[in-house]
Structure 1
Amino acid sequence: MSALTAQDLIGVIGAGAMGSGIVQVALNAGHRVVLYDAAPAAVERGIASIDTAYRRLLEKGKIDAATHGDRMARLSAGAQLADLAGARLVIEAIVENIDIKASVLAEVEALLPADAIIATNTSSLSVTAIAARLKRPAQVAGLHFFNPAPVLPLVEIISGKATAPAVADTLFATALAWKKVPVRCASTPGFIVNRVARPFYGEALRLLGDRAADVATLDAILRDCGGFRMGAFELMDLIGHDVNYAVTKSVYDAMYQDPRYKPSLLQKELVDAGWLGKKSGNGFYSYAPDAARPAPTLAQPAPAPTGILVTGTLGVTAPLLTLAQEAGLAVRHDAAPGPALWTVDGVTLALTDGRPATQRGLDAVFDLAGDYAKAATIAIALADQTPDGALAAVAGFFQALGKQVIVIDDVPGMVVMRTVAMLANEAADVVQQGIASARDCDLAMVNGVNYPRGPLAWADAIGPAVVHTVLLNLAAGYGEDRYRSAPLLARRALTGQPFHGAAA
């Protein structure tokens, strides 16, 4: 498996933000690059934007003048597709329309040598279908960069049905040489990232529709409790609701309306209203210059509890016991079999298992955290009927550990737990279907969308049996196939075998 060398010419079709970013990646690796666009003015703008990007690096001292000059000297504007004729690799980054892509690539294919590789940067279209319209489908693959391409490390290497293994190997090795993090996957709707990420948005929208909490509060839980870099609503606003909704709808339709990927009417309303997020000035949040950023709703300060009993196996919540001991709380642990039950000044609570506290006969449940030792916030939900002082007891306990406390409605699975369970479930399905390995699924989600850890590594940390139980309870609570467990996850739950370090 060998990478393309610096002597190999790279052709890029499409001079927009993505195409220009890919050009920079190839220039940084020492290649000569020809940039072509059907609109000559777009090529001029693209080259100007690349030059501006390098000048910024020059001003910051990250490159010197000689490097800037050398890179720009290796970039040339293509006036016509024929200018790509000597390319060893051509990457298209044009409009997401299969007819347009296939037409352009068929034209360029006729100009290239038989061993040249044609790569599409499509984020949603079938690589198999695009390749089938060309004469040499074995030489066609997906090379999906993430925007901004010079910054984000992930590249998905997508093999269509006819893609030659040597072609995928060359692209993989080349991406490594370009200092990217490549992952392999088969051509399937959404590939890895855009498929596995759907529950991050879908569950947040579902929770908002169920009135579990407001937008700012749900975002704070995902961010400050779950450890995600951004909450789902602020991320959708950043991506643009037109784009995010279109990807969700595309995956939903391509998967024959599987309820797992069902789009949200709440998001459709934003699109219909033209509230597309940050770029339009309105989305779930207002981006007007004088708009105040809404704050999450926090529980009022409460006194620390005087007595805590923990029975059962702590599992992923073990750091809470350590924090309680370090805080000087009077806490006793009885390591009996079964999930941990906390009794705080007579108030019972436990980590959510997908059932509401009311259904479990507990006074309260609390949410999963990305890292209980470091999380700034903990989310709790109280049963519909709780004893006097239950909120104060639970809030006071977590506040004594140095956490802010958010109270949400008593909904199934809470926020972080159901989101992580659904992300892990989707990744398990991808592995089950042979689309990608467990390693590549986790690499993709960490490096493509900045998740704090890979969904399957997270499932291993929580325990596959716990994730499976959460999904079973969500499915029972909602009565929907949306929450069905992937067969591979169900098997891991039964055997206790982890996703990493196990045959997948």
Structure 2
Amino acid sequence: MTANVSDAVPDAAPGTGAEPVDRSRTVAVVGTGTMGQGIAQVALVAGHPVRLYDSAPGRAEAAVTALAARLDRLVEKGRMDRSERDGAVARLHAAAEPAELADAALVVEAVVEDLAVKQRLFAELEKIVGDDTLLATNTSSLSVTAVAGALRLPGRFVGLHFFNPAPLLPLVEVVSGFATDPAAATRAYETAKSWGKTPVRCADTPGFIVNRIARPFYAEALRVHEEGAADPATIDAALRECGGFRMGPFELTDLIGQDVNEAVTRSVWESFYQDPRFTPSLAQRRLVESGRLGRKSGHGWFPYGEGAPAPEPHTAPPARPPASVTVQGDLYQARELARVIQEAGVPVDFADDAVPGYPGWIELPSGTRLFLADGTAADDAEMPVIHFDLALDFRTCERIVLAPASTVADGALAEAIGLFQAAGKKVSVIRDIPGMIVARTVAMLADFAFDAATRAVAEPGDIDTAMRLGVNYPRGPLAWGEELGAGWVLETLSNLHEEYPTGRYAPSQALRRRVAAEHAAAAEQSAAEQAAAGAEASS
């Protein structure tokens, strides 16, 4: 990792005396695209006078008209009173020149993601506004420190990263640059909170919290596709119907825009000096080069528009379940699965010769064994093995994904398919690939989160909050990693690292130290218990 001392979040805890920007004071928004209008709406509905400025002639006036129309729709839907709408529109004005922003207490910039453009803008604004004006950038991928680098008073500069659509999504990342004054960060935090948002504090590192930690969600899906293990629709279905994510990565990047998502990935990768863990996808680059940018261009990974077929994942046809199965040892993360199978009417024999600490398996009548994905390939085993992918909840998930070794007979695979179908699951079969889909993705997300927390990118609670609210993850990656066990995350990534020795899957130092500490604590407790038992026996 390249981040070091600059990763530390400045001490901006409540108690510095900073208050939110008073609602009687003007909030200026520079840039009137989708994000600029969204941020302006948030400030306006919160009660501030709002001034919009755009360097393109006529854009600010058009944005005022568009915002008034948005508020009209809120009235029509019963989400805003007519009097509130009229008051908000009366407080909304277009600025023809930057000089008209002079009395603003807060200026939020939402212009093109170009460092030089942003630096020039803020250098100009600094000559116009008062020294006590809070300056903020909505950048999602550029360094807040770099944007503020040429300012006379960089201490009053912060990142206020809203998520699109800003009026609806609650998360705001409050980013402290290297020179940001703690009181300015707290003032920005309290202002976002007063607007009804859920702010989280973070340091100025590439991608901040969400765009840093979320990279594996996209990258691992693209890697699985590039290796020919599954098609985009099936990968999406696995992460959605098995992993519990709101959307699959292919449909989500089509919604975001392939060019936008690829640009953020490339920016983070370059900012981390081409760290292999952040490597962009060649397949996505080719998609962007072809002009297939997603919904906005009518075609991305999937076609859109009238008559376009809905993506169809591979789903296995009905198969007969086995007469019975044997559960050998402890299934750990998949423990609930045995009960689900049993409740479905398939007799389950629980063997009593489990090996402590060793993962268990489900054995079919043919002798083929079903193991939870652990970062190895099914073909690595010395006997016929089928891996099944990790699920958020094996009881409620809609789909199970299987990856058989090449030595698995067709009849045994049919038994495995029928077993899960009997339990009410749809089944997808993919080509054998280490870590499958959900398991490798969740392991990487958890490790990225452990690493970010250890490096003080943000507090652990803020990391999980950001990932749940910013990208709708079903569970915060730190909480998910805790539930699965840091040992499972480490073993899965270590196995993947052995399969792909490029550094991409090398477990972080934070994860390795965490597991070592857990092992040491367990050994100490065991020794204490043995000593206590020995003392009791001797007495």
Category of TM-score, reference length = shorter chain = over 0.9
Match 1:463 to one of 479, 485, 504: 485
Are 2:276 and 1:263 aligned? no
Does the 8 Å contact 1:347/1:394 carry over to 2? no
Give me the whole-angstrom Cα distance separating, in 2, the residues matched to 1:191 and 1:225. 28
Q: Specify the code of the residue in structure 2 equivalent to 1:351.
A: L
Residue 206 of structure 1 is matched in structure 2 by 223
1:77-226 → structure 2 map (5 Å cutoff)? 77-226=94-243
Give me the whole-angstrom Cα distance separating, in 1, the residues matched to 2:332 and 2:459. 26
Residue 10 of structure 1 is matched in structure 2 by 27
Residue 324 of structure 2 is matched in structure 1 by 307
Are 2:346 and 1:342 aligned? no
Are 2:515 and 1:493 aligned? yes
The 4+ residue runs of structure 1 with deviation greater than 3 A are: none
Q: Which of 1 and 2 has greater Rg?
A: 2
Does the 8 Å contact 1:106/1:133 carry over to 2? yes
Residue 393 of structure 1 is matched in structure 2 by 415
Residue 501 of structure 1 is matched in structure 2 by none
More displaced, 377-386 or 362-371? 362-371
CA deviation after TM superposition for structure 1 residue 304, in Å:
2.4
**In structure 1, the residue corresponding to 2:42 is in which secondary structure?**
helix
Give me the whole-angstrom Cα distance separating, in 1, the residues matched to 2:272 and 2:389. 31
CA deviation after TM superposition for structure 1 residue 334, in Å:
4.0
Give me the whole-angstrom Cα distance separating, in 2, the residues matched to 1:316 and 1:398. 17
Give me the whole-angstrom Cα distance separating, in 1, the residues matched to 2:472 and 2:133. 33
CA deviation after TM superposition for structure 1 residue 134, in Å:
0.4
CA deviation after TM superposition for structure 1 residue 381, in Å:
0.6
**In structure 2, the residue corresponding to 1:279 is in which secondary structure?**
helix
Residue 364 of structure 1 is matched in structure 2 by 386
Does the 8 Å contact 2:328/2:360 carry over to 1? yes
Give me the whole-angstrom Cα distance separating, in 2, the residues matched to 1:343 and 1:114. 71
Does the 8 Å contact 1:347/1:393 carry over to 2? no
Does the 8 Å contact 2:321/2:416 carry over to 1? no
Match 2:47 to one of 25, 30, 53: 30
Does the 8 Å contact 1:466/1:493 carry over to 2? no
Match 1:478 to one of 488, 493, 500: 500
Residue 62 of structure 2 is matched in structure 1 by 45
Match 1:433 to one of 455, 466, 488: 455
Q: Specify the code of the residue in structure 2 equivalent to 1:127.
A: V
CA deviation after TM superposition for structure 1 residue 305, in Å:
2.2
Residue 473 of structure 2 is matched in structure 1 by 451
Q: Specify the code of the residue in structure 1 equivalent to 2:108.
A: I
Give me the whole-angstrom Cα distance separating, in 2, the residues matched to 1:296 and 1:413. 19
- Could you say what the CA RMSD is over the residues aligned between the two structures, in angstroms? 1.4
CA deviation after TM superposition for structure 1 residue 321, in Å:
2.0
Residue 408 of structure 1 is matched in structure 2 by 430
CA deviation after TM superposition for structure 1 residue 441, in Å:
1.4
Q: Specify the code of the residue in structure 2 equivalent to 1:284.
A: W
Cα distance per residue 1:305-355 (max 9 Å; x no partner): 222221222322122122123222211334632212111223211101100
Give me the whole-angstrom Cα distance separating, in 2, the residues matched to 1:388 and 1:274. 41
Match 2:255 to one of 214, 220, 238: 238
**In structure 1, the residue corresponding to 2:307 is in which secondary structure?**
coil
Instruction: Identify if the C-alpha distance between structure 1 residues 388 and 94 changes in structure 2 by more than 3 Å, giving closer, same or farther.
Output: closer
Give me the whole-angstrom Cα distance separating, in 1, the residues matched to 2:230 and 2:32. 42
Give me the whole-angstrom Cα distance separating, in 2, the residues matched to 1:93 and 1:41. 17
Give me the whole-angstrom Cα distance separating, in 2, the residues matched to 1:133 and 1:360. 59
Give me the whole-angstrom Cα distance separating, in 2, the residues matched to 1:400 and 1:450. 31
Cα distance per residue 1:190-233 (max 9 Å; x no partner): 11111111111111111111000111111111111111111111
Give me the whole-angstrom Cα distance separating, in 2, the residues matched to 1:294 and 1:184. 38
Cα distance per residue 1:82-111 (max 9 Å; x no partner): 211111111111111111111111111122
Give me the whole-angstrom Cα distance separating, in 1, the residues matched to 2:348 and 2:245. 30
**In structure 2, the residue corresponding to 1:143 is in which secondary structure?**
strand
Structure 1 stretches lacking a partner, 5+ long:
498-504
Give me the whole-angstrom Cα distance separating, in 2, the residues matched to 1:457 and 1:433. 18
Give me the whole-angstrom Cα distance separating, in 2, the residues matched to 1:222 and 1:122. 28
CA deviation after TM superposition for structure 1 residue 8, in Å:
2.3
Residue 320 of structure 1 is matched in structure 2 by 337
Does the 8 Å contact 2:28/2:50 carry over to 1? yes
How many residue pairs were aligned?
497
More displaced, 110-119 or 416-425? 110-119
Give me the whole-angstrom Cα distance separating, in 2, the residues matched to 1:419 and 1:245. 18
More displaced, 319-328 or 79-88? 319-328
Match 2:401 to one of 379, 393, 415: 379
Give me the whole-angstrom Cα distance separating, in 2, the residues matched to 1:322 and 1:111. 68
**In structure 1, the residue corresponding to 2:297 is in which secondary structure?**
coil
CA deviation after TM superposition for structure 1 residue 388, in Å:
4.7
**In structure 2, the residue corresponding to 1:76 is in which secondary structure?**
strand
CA deviation after TM superposition for structure 1 residue 476, in Å:
0.5
Give me the whole-angstrom Cα distance separating, in 1, the residues matched to 2:516 and 2:321. 39
Give me the whole-angstrom Cα distance separating, in 2, the residues matched to 1:334 and 1:136. 70
**In structure 2, the residue corresponding to 1:482 is in which secondary structure?**
coil
Does the 8 Å contact 1:465/1:494 carry over to 2? no
Give me the whole-angstrom Cα distance separating, in 2, the residues matched to 1:286 and 1:109. 46
Structure 2 stretches lacking a partner, 5+ long:
1-13, 520-539
Q: Specify the code of the residue in structure 2 equivalent to 1:347.
A: T
Cα distance per residue 1:153-203 (max 9 Å; x no partner): 110000000101111111111111111111111111111111111111111
Match 1:354 to one of 354, 358, 375: 375
More displaced, 331-340 or 260-269? 331-340
